[in-house]
A and B are shown apart, each in its own frame.
Chain A
Amino acid sequence: MSSGELEPRATSLFGDEEVALVDLLDRLLAGGVVLAGDLTISLAGVDLVRVSLRALITSIAPVERPGTLAVRAERAEQAERGDTERSGAGAPEAGTALEAGRG
C-alpha cells in the first residue's frame, strides 16, 4: 500500500480497497481472542445482509431520516386501510346487526 492511497474512500461492501470489507468482517465478527471487555458491545449476531440492505436504502434516499420513513410507511398503511374500509363498508353494520340479533 503506498501512502498515496490513504485518502478516505467511500464505504464499499464489495471491497474496492486492498481487503474486501465482507472478508474482513467475516473474520472480525467471528474471530480473534475473545475477552470480556469492561463494556460489552455484542457483535456476534450482526446480520451483514440486513445491515447492507439498510445501508443501501440509506444511500438511495439520503434525505429521508428513519423517522420520515416510518411516518411515510404509516401513512401508506393508513391509505391502504382506508381503501379496504371503503370496499368493505358493510362490515360495521353486520356487527351491529349481530349484536342486535343477540340482544
Chain B
Amino acid sequence: MSDTLTYVYALARDVDPGAAGALRGVGGRPVRTVEAAGVAAVVSDVDRAEFEERALEERLEDLEWLAATARAHHHVVDTLGRDHLVAPLALATVYFDDDRVRAVLTEGRATFAAVLDQLAGRAEWGVKVYGRPGAAREQAGDEKPRSGADYLRRRRAALREGDTALDAAREVAGEVDAAATALAVASRTHRLQDATLSGESDPMVLNRAYLVPVERTDALRELVASYGGHRQVRVELTGPWVPYSFAQAAPEGSTP
C-alpha cells in the first residue's frame, strides 16, 4: 500500500503542465495533472497517514490544520485559475491513487464538461453589506440623563433607532442585491458572518456570491462604488474568486 494519497484541487481544461508543476500544494508537495476523457484533474500527493487520521477523527476543530489546508488549496486553484478554466473541488477530496482519479474523470466526463462550460468567461465576486447602527446614534446627543426615567426613555429610543437602522440597512442591501443579481448569471447566499469571525463591529446584513461575466466586471465595481459614503450601509466587494460557489454538478437556480 502506498504512503500517499492523491489530493484533487480542481478540474480544469487545457492546463499547461509546466504551470501546474511550478506550484506547491498541501504539505508543500509538487502539483501535477492527471488527465482522462478530455478533462484534467489538478492533483498532488498528500501524506496518507495524516488524511486517514483526519478522516477517522474528523478533528477539524484544529483551526491551524484547516487554515493551512484551505490556504494551500486556494493557492493552487487561484494561481491556475488566473490563466485557465478551473472548477475547484470541495476541500480535502482525496483518492487512493491516480488510477482512481482517472476512473472518476472518465465516469463523470459529461457532468464535468457541463460544469466547466458554465464557468467559462465568468468569475465569482463576493458582496458583503454591513449596517451602520452608529449613524442614528450620532444625532442623539451626549447630554447626561436627568433622571432614571429619562435614562430609560432614552435607552428605549436608542434601541428603537438601532432596529430601525438595521431595517433600513437590510432594505438598502436588498437594492444592492437586486442590482448585482441583474449583472450576474447566478448568485448564491453565504452565511452571515458572526462578528467573532469577521472582526467587524458593524452587523452584517448581506453575504452573497455572484457569478459575473468578465465583460460586466466594471459595471459591478461601479455599482459597489456608488454606495461609497452611504449613510446607512457599507458595501464591500471581494474577488475575483475562482468560482468556488458555482462549481456545482447539479445546476442551481437563482436562490432567493
Q: Do A and B come from one complex?
A: yes
Please report the total number of A residues contacting B with Cβ < 8 Å: 38
Residue among B87, B199, B238 making CB contact with A14, cutoff 8 Å: B199
Q: Determine whether the beta carbon of B90 is less than 8 Å from that of A34.
A: yes
- Residues in A23-74 with C-beta less than 8 Å from chain B: 23-35, 37-43, 46, 48-55
Q: Let me know if B91 is at the binding interface, CB within 8 A.
A: yes
Residue among B89, B100, B197 with the most chain A CB within 10 A? B197
Residues of A close to B73: CB separation below 8 A: 28
Asked if A28 contacts B52 (CB within 8 A), the reply is no
CB pair B63 A33 closer than 8 Å: no
Contact with A along B224-256 (1 / 0, CB 8 A): 000000000000001001001111110000000
Number of residues on chain B facing chain A (CB within 8 A): 54
Instruction: Give B220 Cβ to nearest chain A Cβ, in Å.
Output: 17
Interface residue? B1 (CB, 8 A): no
Whether A22 pairs with B198 at a CB distance below 8 angstroms is yes
Q: B169 CB to closest chain A CB, in angstroms?
A: 20
Also in contact, A32 and B197, with CB within 8 A (given A39-B51, A41-B55): no
B93 touches A26 (CB 8 A): no
Q: Which residues of A contact B (CB under 8 A)?
A: 11, 13-15, 17, 19-35, 37-43, 46, 48-55
Sample (14) of A-B pairs whose CB atoms are under 8 Å apart: A13-B63, A13-B197, A14-B198, A20-B238, A27-B124, A28-B70, A33-B11, A33-B89, A34-B89, A35-B104, A38-B96, A51-B61, A52-B197, A55-B63
